[in-house]
Structure 1
Amino acid sequence: MTYQPPFKITATILSLVEEIGEALGRMQAVELADSRLRLHRINRIKTIQASLEIEGNTLNLDQVTAVLDGKRVLAQPRELQEVRNAFAAYEAMSQWSPDDERDLLTAHGLLMAGLVDELGCYRSGSVGVHGAQGVIHVAPQASRVPGLMGQLLQWLAETDEHPLIVSTVFHYEFEFIHPFQDGNGRMGRLWQSLILSRWRSVFANMPVESLIRDARQDYYAALNACNQVGESTRFVEFMLEIIFRALQSASSTEQESGQVTEQVKRLLSELRGKSRPARALMQALDLKHRPNFFYHYLQPALQQGLVEMTRPDTPRARNQQYRLTELGRSVAESWK
């Protein structure tokens, strides 16, 4: 191995690697984490929506879910295509090897189908990254891209660094090279998830992109700072913090969903796929005593964020109904 991406192992990086390892341990039975975290579909959708929103797609979580369920959504054709492509790419992720250039190009072909001219191949022209104040990064010349990507993939195949560090360094170097005509941001995030999933399968469905979206200014600031100094240390620190927060969030969700009472479980089962008024829910649950329904079924579900009102601004509205939240749907799906 001759190429070594420039970065430093700092005390912050070592601490975060240790904290992430401990967080994985607290989640118990990491090899079974996919089922324990109830992540597969709901977090896959979160990941797709967040990654696309970072790139300017305006569809919200409910709209993305509707698109993937085959329902009609009024939106720009390009945005709908981006959603379908992203889902296809993330679903195919388990088939790919992170250091295989053919798989990288195949992934770009899936992710950007119908969206760019140069599909599944490296760019033939110049590209730059634009910010509020103009061009903030000019990527290497197109003629250099195959060689740079070859070096980076070889390093990925041969390095002995910790997978957490490797995935993040690769992410930064990939964005610096900007090897494709378009789709570099979403490809970089997809490939980091792929690298991490080869280390711990839980990362295949961990919505790290949601936290990146929420901190997108810091995300771009970390990338730009690294571009200026010519090494990726700050970006590694930033992304490890994001990964740690994602694990904390997933662990918290698991704990909350694991405390659901039998009464609340029955309520969630009755609300699958529809919204219903309180009276109809009581009838379906064969309950006669209204206070019992509210105190033992409805209120706990509302407090845990599993159920929400259709008219939250007017809680006592005569036409008030109740429906599952995003979290409620994910918890209910896990019992099937």
Structure 2
Amino acid sequence: MAILNTLDEASAKTALETWLARMLPAADDVAISDLSIPQSAGMSMTTILFGASWTENGNSVTAELVARVAPPQPGVFMDPDLEKEFTLLSSLAERTALAVPKALWYEKDPAVLGSEFVVFERAHGDVPPDDPPYVLEGWVLDLEPNRRGALYDRAVDVVAEVAAVDWQALGLGELLDKPQYGPTGIDQQLGYWEDFYRWASRDGKSSPTVEAALQWAKANKPEGEDLTLNWGDARIGNIMYRPDDLSVAAVLDWEMACIASPEMDLGWLILLVRYYSEGIGVPIPDGLPDGQALIAAWERATGRAARHVAFYEAFAALRLSIIMVRAGNLLISVGAFPADHPMPVSNPASQLLATLLDLPAPQGELASYVEAR
């Protein structure tokens, strides 16, 4: 669910038709068809699915496309940068075997759709849903347990492939670096997420749990780690699977990509399993792994011995809790939640964070963004 989606399908169709004609100067009869704006496609960006057709050199051409549109006002993330994401995905598509969406155009002019956007070739497959969570209903539960487990086998393989990318040869260090927050790695990540939290809580509720966890993380940060490319939002809900064999059709949502310890993606992957089980009060479905199984699979796939996993699982819970502080305060500010709503402080991520670090439980009833539907 895109919290700040202000687009309607009719105006988006007209705008994209005019824009695409400019992008294809040799084309005639450019037309947009079958445009839709899914309301369940993530919190941070608006997704537009559409078909396109045109005539070029006397030949008819058709394409299935996806636009990913940044929010026109400050959204869930502090510093969305679709141009950076476009550059990253273009580099990965051209120079690695990762199944990333093919990025076709980046548009920075907000006059077209109200904000910057990227257009990709559309991939086809099934994505485990967040709303309602895939552990409660949907196609994942319809799979036999052994096939269900294959979803995480593929996810671990993706995480290992990402960690193996020669990020220096691809120039990704300069692209993803945020030197204002400290040296590349955990120091930079801690500086960035502390600043994110200050921004997220500035005009709304603050979280004592997050504040205590930030101090813990700074006092317990690992030293002397390897640096690899991290996907950032490493979870099966950001993988599109082909329904016939559950192979990976596309690896999605790279806005949290960074250069850091390889265990950072592992910690996020483990935390999201816990989020969609313990966090929401349901058992892990048969066939899906727990944290220990994920660690073993990751070690086999990467050829590494996993280090500092407890730290990076807690750091994942901290980062997700900060995102939920922002999402909750944003939903309150736009009137989707009342002013006293507990989501910024008490949500599945912050409750897990408190459990992992033996902190006092966050105050207030457990709440999440799903209530804003």
TM-score by length of 2: 0.24
Q: Could you say which structure has the higher helix fraction?
A: 1
TM-score by length of 1: 0.26
Q: Could you say which structure has the higher strand fraction?
A: 2
Q: Work out which of the two has the higher radius of gyration on C-alpha atoms and give 1 or 2.
A: 1
